[in-house]
Structure formats: structure tokens, C-alpha cells
Structure 1
Amino acid sequence: MLIIADKRIPAAARKKLSEYGEVVLFKTSGLTYEAISGHPDIFFCTLNGQLIVAPNLPENYKSILRNHQISCMEGEQPMGGKYPETAAYNVVSNDKYLFHNFRYTDSKINELADDLDLIHVNQGYCRCNLLPLKNDHYITSDEGIRRVLENYNLDVLFVDPKDILLPGMKHGFFGGCCGVWENKVFILGNLNHFGDGKKVRTYLQHLHYEIIELYDGPLFDGGSVLFIA
């Protein structure tokens, strides 16, 4: 299994992740602004089992995917230097829904989502802010997303992102600290260092997830941790 993570995540988190698969440390230069330049959830998304990548994803990462016999589809919209050109692939999906600000969604994603119910949110950085879990449960760090999901009668936990590290920005977002693989939720940091950590721990334990805290420190927004089998 490949695990794609921002090259800038703490060394202890990289070491812990390597226990679960081959870690690919991700970085780009000159394509978008520095704070998100290594964020997997800005350049990649998965939808209905299909991996979609920005067409200007650096060639060395496309080669890594090919060498591991991982097929991917290139989107139409290149990664841009600023928001909202950076939001085209930052979607959230499961077997029922696709969540995004659909003013910004790449057209290839829309084509692949024709069997899903579309739920529009104003936040273009949807995956950064929304962690989808089993049985239509969600955690978000965006109040607007919380309100929309509650209007759809979905079970959503809101957490305050003010304690989350994102170098170069005031703070990061909760979804960007996490990855989900099978029955495990991986967190870049330790929930004991997060103001709403007890709420998150209780919520995940109620859903019978195994919580993997990747290092003993504050939550770090690395643009999600992407697992590709």
C-alpha cells in the first residue's frame, strides 16, 4: 500500500506511518502557494474507487503510481496559484454523497459522480475541513459545513480548529490532520494536545475506530494522509 503524506509532517509521524505501508513524501514547487504545496488533498482525490489527480501533478509522482500499478485519471483543471484555483480536487465523497462547492469542482469529478447525491457547501476546501466516517458520520472544523450536514440530518461533530498547526497560516483544519484506512483513523498529532480532543476521541470510539496518533504533539494539518491500495 502507498501512503502519500506532506514531506513536512514531523519525522516521528513519518516513522509511524511507515509501519503501515510505503510512505511517499509529497512536495511541489511553483504550482501553488507554499502552505499547501505538499498537501495530497489538494492534488489528489478518490471517487467511486477511482484516483483523480491534477494534470500538472509532477511527473515523478505519476511515475510512482505507474510503478505500483495504480491507475489514475487526470482531471481537466491544472492546479493554480491561489484559491479557488486550488480547490478543484478538494472534495469529499462516500458511497452516497459528493460534498463540495460545486462552482469549483473539476469536470472529471462531476462526470464520475453521476450516481451520487451532490451536497453543496460554500467551503471550497471541503476535504481539508470534513472527515467522512462510517455510517454517515462526519467530523468538520467548518461551521458552514456543519450547518449544511445537519440540514440533511447527517450526524456531524464540529471541532474548533484554532489549535491546529499549518505553517504559514493562522491555523489549519481538522480534516487535513487525518486519514482513514479500513477501521483505523490516523491523526497527525495527539488528541491530548487538541482543545476538542476528548470529543473527537469519544466520537471515534463510539464508532469503534482504532485511533492511531502519529506523534506526540499538536495536531498538524498536512493536507490529509492518503492511503492507496
Structure 2
Amino acid sequence: MNTLILNKEISEKMLSFFKKEYKIILTKEIKSISTPLKFHPDIQIAQIDDDTFVCEPTVFEYYKSVLKDKNIIMGETYLQSNYPRDIAYNIIRVGNKCLCNLKYTDKKILENINCKMININQGYAKCSICQVDDNSVITSDDGIEKVCKENRIDVLKIEKSQIELKPYDYGFIGGASLKLNKDEILFFGDITKHSDYHNIKEFCDKKNIKIKYFDFENLIDFGSGFSIY
């Protein structure tokens, strides 16, 4: 059974679905982070390969205890609520490439990761990028789109907003999605209501990626998650 790391504040209805098919690990609160983000997986832990994670020091013992068969490394950066002091672990691997804001990425990630590092100005890398496959992504960020094209990553640019992250004006497509396995993406809410759904569906179809979603919720940024398989 695959394991999912999910936001502790995910809805009970969503959680009940996941529990039918997956072992669930819920995130632990980071008290120094602002309320909307303090349980977000993409804020507090980074996956640098299939078996290795780097996490914020205050949640290290927790993840070490719940991921006993994985290599859990304690990061050096204690997160704070103000940007960019909350982005040290917000990276995303896309195949053999890693996108992040290198200036603020935790040192332990840079020391232990083994792939091509690509710098982006947007610090919320995993929040802002929905991974489709090992060389394809979806984003609403102009800068990320440009960098992806420069590095031969196939990218679909979509409209901003239309994703909830209260009390902010909107959330991001990466935070509202989760790569379940090599063949499936799940969206935390009804992606069909997004104005770019047709383009998203067409893009995923071309990559032979199946879309799953919850039709009983608006699209919500829960800080993505991690599927361990």
C-alpha cells in the first residue's frame, strides 16, 4: 500500500477517500508559520529522491518516527512566517531536474540532492508547479514558464486565481494537486470548473496521465503532498 503525506487540515470527506487506498501520514504543525501554511506539506518537507527527505528541524523527530524506512535528514533552516523565510524546503523535482529558489533553499537539500539544479525567482516552487511527468509541468507563473522552456521542460501556462487558499486571494496549482503515481494526478477539488480545464485535460492526455479530482469541493491549495511508492 502506497503512503501519502497530506495536510492535516484536509477535509474529512477527502481523507475518507484516501484512507480506502493509502496509508496516510498527516503533517505536523509548524507554529512559527502563518496560519494558512503551517500544515502545508510543501512548506515543511522536501523529497530529494525516492527514499530521502529533508525537513524543518521542529518536525524532524515526527517525520523520522513515521517514516522509519526512509532516510530523513534534519534541515538547518528554522522557518519563519514572512516570505522568503518560509521557502527553504519548497522545492520540486521534475525527473533529473530540481526547480527552486537557490538563494533560500536549505543547505542540507543542496548538499544531498543529486540532479540538475535550476534556479527560479518564485520561492514557492512546489506550490506553483504541478508535475505531470518527468519532463512536463503546469504553472500559472510567467517566470517559471520561461525557465522551463529554457531548460526544455514541457510546460503548460494557465490562468492565475480560481484556487482557494484563505485568507489569501488565491492559491496555486501545485499546492492544489498531488502526483499520485507515474500515471495519475489528483486535484484537491473540482478542476473541471477551472477556466483552463480543457487545456489541462488535453495536456495530460497527451502525456497519458489520468486526472482524478473531488467534484464535491472547490479547488483548494492544501500544499500538495507526497506519494511514497
TM-score past 0.5 threshold: yes
1:55 corresponding residue in structure 2? 57
Once the two structures are superposed, residues 139-165 of structure 1 have per-residue CA deviations (whole angstroms, 9 ceiling, x without a partner) of 112111111112223210011231000
Q: Please say if 1:105 is aligned against 2:101.
A: no
List runs of 5+ in structure 1 lacking aligned partners: none
Instruction: Give the alignment's TM-score, normalised by structure 1.
Output: 0.91
Distance change >3 Å, CA 109–CA 59, structure 1 → 2? closer
1:92 corresponding residue in structure 2? 92
Write the letter of the residue equivalent to 2:225.
V
1:166 corresponding residue in structure 2? 165
Write the letter of the residue equivalent to 1:33.
S
Distance 1:154 1:60 in 2: 35
List runs of 5+ in structure 2 lacking aligned partners: none
Map 1:1-229 → 2, pairs under 5 A: 1-49=2-50, 50-57=52-59, 59-66=61-68, 69-113=69-113, 115-180=114-179, 181-229=181-229
User: Displacement of 1:204 after TM fit?
Assistant: 1.0
User: Displacement of 1:219 after TM fit?
Assistant: 1.0
Once the two structures are superposed, residues 153-200 of structure 1 have per-residue CA deviations (whole angstroms, 9 ceiling, x without a partner) of 321001123100002111000000111123111110122221211211
User: 1:12·1:215 contact (CA, 8 Å) conserved in 2?
Assistant: no
Distance 1:161 1:8 in 2: 23
User: Displacement of 1:126 after TM fit?
Assistant: 0.5
Distance 2:134 2:145 in 1: 17
User: Displacement of 1:73 after TM fit?
Assistant: 1.1
User: Displacement of 1:217 after TM fit?
Assistant: 2.5
User: 2:30·2:59 contact (CA, 8 Å) conserved in 1?
Assistant: no
Distance 1:195 1:217 in 2: 16
| Count of matched residue positions in the alignment of Structure 1 and Structure 2 | 226
RMSD: 1.8
Distance change >3 Å, CA 154–CA 13, structure 1 → 2? same
Instruction: Give the alignment's TM-score, normalised by structure 2.
Output: 0.91
Distance change >3 Å, CA 182–CA 19, structure 1 → 2? farther
Write the letter of the residue equivalent to 1:153.
R
User: 2:91·2:98 contact (CA, 8 Å) conserved in 1?
Assistant: yes
The answer to which of 190-199 and 173-182 deviates more is 190-199
The answer to which of 56-65 and 117-126 deviates more is 56-65
Distance change >3 Å, CA 215–CA 29, structure 1 → 2? farther
Distance change >3 Å, CA 148–CA 94, structure 1 → 2? closer
Write the letter of the residue equivalent to 1:221.
D
Write the letter of the residue equivalent to 1:108.
K
- Give aligned-pair identity as a percent: 26
Distance 1:154 1:4 in 2: 26
